[in-house]
Amino acid sequence: MMTALVATSHTGWIVGYTIGGIVVVVVVALVVPILLLARTIGQQAARINDGLADAVTNTAALSELETTIASADAITAGLKRGRTRLGG
């Protein structure tokens, strides 16, 4: 009788540890792909940030475009006045 009681007591622990182990394995199986995906996203974000920094550098001169247009307008207006004075 005592042997059956001890076996039943240990069976509960074994079942509990087995279920706990299964839960841990399932959680790890779900978390690992998420972590790998997050790592990939982080690496891509770094490359995107580098590309955006290059774009800022490469397009910085566009902020002076209105000044360039105004200068070109002044030059062409001067050329037009000169041509008119010369009879052209």
pLDDT of 72 reads 94
Tokens 């240990």 map to which residue? 10
> Is the pLDDT at 87 greater than 60, yes or no?
yes
pLDDT of 8 reads 62
According to DSSP, residue 88 is labeled -
Instruction: Kindly report, residue by residue over 4-37, the tens digit of the pLDDT.
Output: 555 567 888 899 999 999 999 999 999 999 999 9
Annotated domain spans of the chain:
2-61
Instruction: Kindly report, residue by residue over 37-82, the tens digit of the pLDDT.
Output: 999 999 999 999 999 999 999 999 888 999 999 999 999 999 999 9
According to DSSP, residue 87 is labeled T
Distance CA 37, CA 46 (A): 14
